[in-house]
Every structure is written in structure tokens, then in C-alpha cells.
């Protein structure tokens, strides 16, 4: 890797940030594309000072924003793209001529993962399991950018589920149903085509758990797990065994990073190199 006075800097900020796969993904992409960019990670506590620093440094081109700063950065940006404004969080900042623009690539990245897998959401009944930040971002993208037949959000904390459903419905003019995870899951799974798992259930260090009993899964289901540690969760292994189409969390991670890469560099992301780097960083063998 060449690093010199022309090198552009990109970085992820968060707290903690040491576990992030983003440096591995983006540096592999810059190398594969032959670009004089470098990507690192910064643990940040003082968000205003961090963004003032970025604005002052002309070669500081791009920033990924992760937990807990996705909302806090918004009041320090010059422009925010309409979808990020509706979602209420920013995961990507692009710096040009002293101006900082915020976008969200989580939802569009998830949709691009479906597209890459050859799965259309148009006319499908989409069920979200979980009601956190990731579900919120992807639910907005599904409501705004697809012709899904229906959207349902299930979660364990009724007020959070209702808040997401009402907010997405109000801002996108698409009906969104809300139900309780404990009592509504069986009917919701039976009445859905696309299952999007957006809770940490099944994540390392408890990889044996799944929110959906295996016997409820049918070959017509498309099962997407946002969790990517492990690469194949219990939910995904069960879905595979039941003959469902599967989509791994790493594909959302890759595609949201690919959209960031394209915003910062203006060239198509080298997805294969990014996937190989991500699998390597996860200890999986491509």
C-alpha cells in the first residue's frame, strides 16, 4: 500500500470500535481498486470535536459512523440525505470542500444484498424480527424503495415496535403492522415470505439460539439474518435445512460498505475483494 502526501483518509468512529471489520473491508477495496486511500478506526467520545477535525482536514474524505454516534453526528453536518433524515440516523459522512454530508447506507445496503442474491421484495410479505436501529433503517428502505406487499415488525418491547411501525408508516405513507414477538411470531411467520432477523439472538457467544423454531420454516421463505458473527447463525442453518433461500448478515455489511466506498471514491466497489477480506477477518475461509 502506498501512503504519501496525496493519500485520502477514511475512518470509522464509534465507542468501542476495536471489533470493527470496516478497516479490513475498505482497505482491501482500496487496494483492489488501486486507489491511494487508507482507512482506519478511531474510538471517539467527543463527537463535535471529531467532526470539526474532519472538516478542517481536506484529505479526510470519508467517515463511517457506528454505535453510539449515529444520531449524535447529525447536528454537526451541513447536509443530510432525505432517507437518513427520515430514519433519524447517519452511518456515512462524505467530506467535500469543507462541507460534511451525511447518508445512511444500512437500508440501501440490505436491499442491494437482496438484489445481488436475485431476490425481489416486490409483491412479498416482509416480516422484521426485532425493533432496534438496524431494523428501523432497513424497514424504511423496504417501505421507500420496494413494492413489498406488506411490512410487519415484531419485537419484545411493545412501545418500540409501535414506534417503528408508526414512524415508518407516517413518513413513507405505507401501512406497517406491529405485533408482539412472544405471541405473534407463529402467525406472522406463516403469513410472510421474507423473514428479516434483526435481533442479536444467535450472535457469538450464543450461536445455538434462534428466534424462529425450525419447524415453522417453509421452502418458500427467504431468510435473512443481520447477525454476521457467526457467518451462519442457527436461524440460517435451520433455514438451509428447511430448503429456504438464505441471505447472510455479511452481505448487508459488505453492501453497506460498498455504497460508502462508492460515495467516497466515485468508482464501483470491488465486492469480491471486500467479501474475501471480511471472511478472512471473521476467521472464515473464502
List the interface residues with ligand NAP, window 190-209 (CB under 6 A). 198-201, 203
DSSP helix/strand/coil, 143: helix
The H or E element spanning position 40 is strand 37-43
Q: Is 88 in the site for ligand NAP (CB under 6 A)?
A: no
- Prior bond to 75 cis, omega within 30? no
Measured distance CA(87)–CA(214) in Å, rounded: 32
Q: Is 162 in the site for ligand NAP (CB under 6 A)?
A: no
What minimum distance in Å lies between the beta carbon of 256 and ligand NAP? 6
What minimum distance in Å lies between the beta carbon of 59 and ligand NAP? 27
Q: Is 72 in the site for ligand NAP (CB under 6 A)?
A: no
Among 23, 107, 133, 230, binds ligand NAP (CB under 6 A): 133
DSSP helix/strand/coil, 53: helix
Q: Is 157 in the site for ligand NAP (CB under 6 A)?
A: yes
Has 70 been annotated as catalytic? yes
**Residue 23 or 133 with smaller CB distance to ligand NAP:** 133
**Residue 126 or 201 with smaller CB distance to ligand NAP:** 201
Q: Is 140 in the site for ligand NAP (CB under 6 A)?
A: no
Read off φ and ψ for residue 238, nearest 5 degrees. -65, -40
Measured distance CA(62)–CA(39) in Å, rounded: 9
**Residue 62 or 249 with smaller CB distance to ligand NAP:** 249
Please work out, in degrees rounded to the nearest 5, the angle formed at the alpha carbon of residue 188 by the alpha carbons of 183 and 193: 160
Q: Is 172 in the site for ligand NAP (CB under 6 A)?
A: no
70, 124, 206, 232: which is the annotated catalytic residue? 70
Gyration radius (Cα) of the chain, Å: 19
Q: At what angle do helices 249-265 and 22-33 cross, to 10 degrees?
A: 50
Please work out, in degrees rounded to the nearest 5, the angle formed at the alpha carbon of residue 137 by the alpha carbons of 65 and 145: 125
Among 85, 125, 160, 171, binds ligand NAP (CB under 6 A): 160
Nine-digit cell at 76?
454537526
Considering only 14-22, 37-45, 130-138, 277-285, which stretch makes contact with ligand NAP by CB under 6 A?
130-138
By annotation, the residues acting in catalysis are 70
Summarize as ranges the residues that interact with ligand NAP (CB under 6 A).
Answer: 106, 130-135, 155-157, 160, 181, 198-201, 203, 226-228, 249, 252-253, 256
Amino acid at each position: 500500500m502506498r501512503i504519501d502526501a496525496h493519500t485520502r483518509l477514511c475512518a470509522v468512529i464509534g465507542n468501542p470500535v476495536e471489533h470493527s471489520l470496516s478497516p479490513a473491508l475498505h482497505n482491501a477495496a482500496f487496494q483492489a481498486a488501486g486507489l491511494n486511500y487508507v482507512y482506519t478506526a478511531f474510538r471517539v467520545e467527543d463527537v463535535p470535536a471529531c467532526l470539526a477535525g474532519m472538516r478542517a482536514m481536506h484529505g479526510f474524505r470519508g467517515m463511517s459512523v457506528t454505535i453510539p454516534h449515529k444520531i449524535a453526528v447529525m447536528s454537526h453536518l451541513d447536509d443530510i440525505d432525505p432517507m437518513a433524515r427520515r430514519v433519524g440516523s447517519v452511518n456515512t459522512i462524505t467530506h467535500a470542500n469543507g462541507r460534511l454530508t451525511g447518508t445512511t447506507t444500512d437500508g440501501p445496503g440490505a436491499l442491494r444484498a437482496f438484489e445481488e442474491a436475485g431476490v425481489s421484495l416486490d409483491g412479498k410479505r416482509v416480516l422484521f424480527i426485532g425493533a432496534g436501529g438496524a431494523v428501523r433503517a432497513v424497514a424504511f428502505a423496504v417501505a421507500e424503495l420496494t413494492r413489498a406487499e406488506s411490512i410487519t415488525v415484531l419485537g419484545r418491547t411493545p412501545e418500540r415496535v409501535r414506534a417503528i411501525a408508526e414512524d415508518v408508516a407516517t413518513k413513507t405513507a405505507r401501512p406497517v403492522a406491529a405485533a408482539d414477538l412472544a405471541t405473534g411470531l407463529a402467525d406472522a411467520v406463516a403469513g410472510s415470505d421474507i423473514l428479516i432477523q434483526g435481533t442479536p439472538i444467535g450472535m457469538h457467544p450464543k450461536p445455538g439460539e434462534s428466534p424462529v423454531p425450525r419447524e415453522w420454516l417453509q421452502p418458500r421463505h427467504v431468510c435473512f439474518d443481520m447477525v454476521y458473527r457467526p457467518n451462519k447463525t442457527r436461524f440460517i442453518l435451520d433455514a438451509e435445512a428447511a430448503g429456504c433461500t438464505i441471505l447472510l448478515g455479511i452481505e448487508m455489511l459488505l453492501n453497506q460498505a460498498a455504497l460508502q466506498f462508492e460515495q467516497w471514491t466515485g468508482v464501483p466497489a470491488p465486492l469480491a475483494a471486500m467479501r474475501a477480506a471480511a471472511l478472512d477477518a471473521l476467521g472464515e475461509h473464502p
